[in-house]
Amino acid sequence: MNFTKELIIENTNGNLENHLPKLGIEKVESEIYTGLKAIPKYISPKYFYDERGSELFEEITELDEYYPTKTEKGILVTIASKLNLDYSNLSLIELGSGDASKIRLLINQIPKEKLSSIKYYPIDISQSAIEKSSKILASEFSSISIRGIVADFIHQKSWVPKSNNRLFCFFGSTIGNMTISETKEFLKLLGSEMGKGDSLLLGMDMVKDLNVLVKAYNDEKNITAQFNKNILNVVNKLVGLNFNANEFEHLAFYNKDKERIEMHLKAKKDMIIKTKNLSDKIFIRKGETIHTENSHKFTKESIEKFGFWAKLKVEKVLTDKNNWFSLIHFRK
């Protein structure tokens, strides 16, 4: 997560551009301090994803309890035959691309003769995730062109690649990590950015049995707990705090009223956290929590509402046999 360097255009295996410096480290500092001084305290989930956080998330996706990745991939393996897409000169723009293992399933289904006209743009806040996944993808599909974009897709818009025939992909129900007002604003902007013929493939995790939901965020190997605690190491590095992640306990539960899993970190003791400005400190009491993530779960009504907010037509709803996860194809 590189907020300080000048905008860089680097040649890795594909091309990479970093838009985070345009946001600036001052914005990051003010966002993190505001959250840690609020009642109750919170940290934005985008700060999970330094190199270690991205690796831990990949481990989560392989856990037995974590059904969303397996279920969404199960839908993606045969998706091409179900969507009416034009693969000539298609720009695939993936938001929060992570390890890019989902887009690979779609690219695998594109006719070989079309691959050289495909452009793939992974967009992620995690530079290491883009670098690693682009390298793997480029070795598998040597003819597609790849341009990685490191950016914050909520607070920035400069990342949006301009072209015709764009398929925006937003997998993993990452949209569920946004607040409702962020979701509305984000969909409104994305919908207004899209032109005629562009479309959006959106992964949405659905409301389901409470036990299945709660287990997915409380795995036996405690990988989700490590992922949750790592956010403190990330903010330590970014803005010079001195959290000790071991002094917090992982908490994940379903908030039925708000139809979301909430993740928190609960302080095991009273503590005083130093900031760069030594006269400014953060006080945390034993038992106090820092809210680190929401994962909203959705219903059929959410799908309609999202289409309405984005001014997009729902073209297709694809789901698994349990209706646990939905992939929605929206069109302008």
State the residues that interact with ligand SAM by CB under 6 A: 46, 49, 54, 57, 61, 69, 96-98, 102, 124-126, 129, 152-154, 171-172, 174
CB 72 within 8 A of CB 61: no
3-state secondary structure of 79: coil
> Could you identify the residue written with the tokens 């838009």?
19
CB of 127 to ligand SAM, least distance (A): 10
CB of 146 to ligand SAM, least distance (A): 16
Instruction: Name the residue with the smallest CB distance to ligand SAM.
Output: 172
CB 49 within 8 A of CB 227: no
Q: How many CB atoms lie within 10 A of CB 34?
A: 10
3-state secondary structure of 170: strand
Burial of 253 (0-12, 13-18, 19+ CB in 10 A): middle
CB 191 within 8 A of CB 311: yes
CB of 190 to ligand SAM, least distance (A): 13
Q: What tokens does 299 get?
A: 């219903």
CB of 212 to ligand SAM, least distance (A): 18
Locate all alpha helices (DSSP H) within the chain, ordered by sequence: 20-23, 25-37, 51-61, 67-76, 101-107, 127-140, 180-193, 210-216, 223-239, 300-310
Q: In the complex with ligand SAM, which residue's Cβ is closer, 102 or 166?
A: 102
CA angle 145, 149, 155 (to 5 degrees): 150
CB of 154 to ligand SAM, least distance (A): 4
CB 80 within 8 A of CB 90: no
CB of 286 to ligand SAM, least distance (A): 30
CB of 118 to ligand SAM, least distance (A): 19
The rounded radius of gyration (Å) of the Cα atoms in the chain is: 20
Bridge pairing between strands 119-124 and 91-95:
parallel
The span from the CA of 94 to the CA of 152, in Å, is 13
**Single-letter amino acid, residue 240:** G
CB of 170 to ligand SAM, least distance (A): 8
Q: In the complex with ligand SAM, which residue's Cβ is closer, 54 or 228?
A: 54
**Single-letter amino acid, residue 190:** L
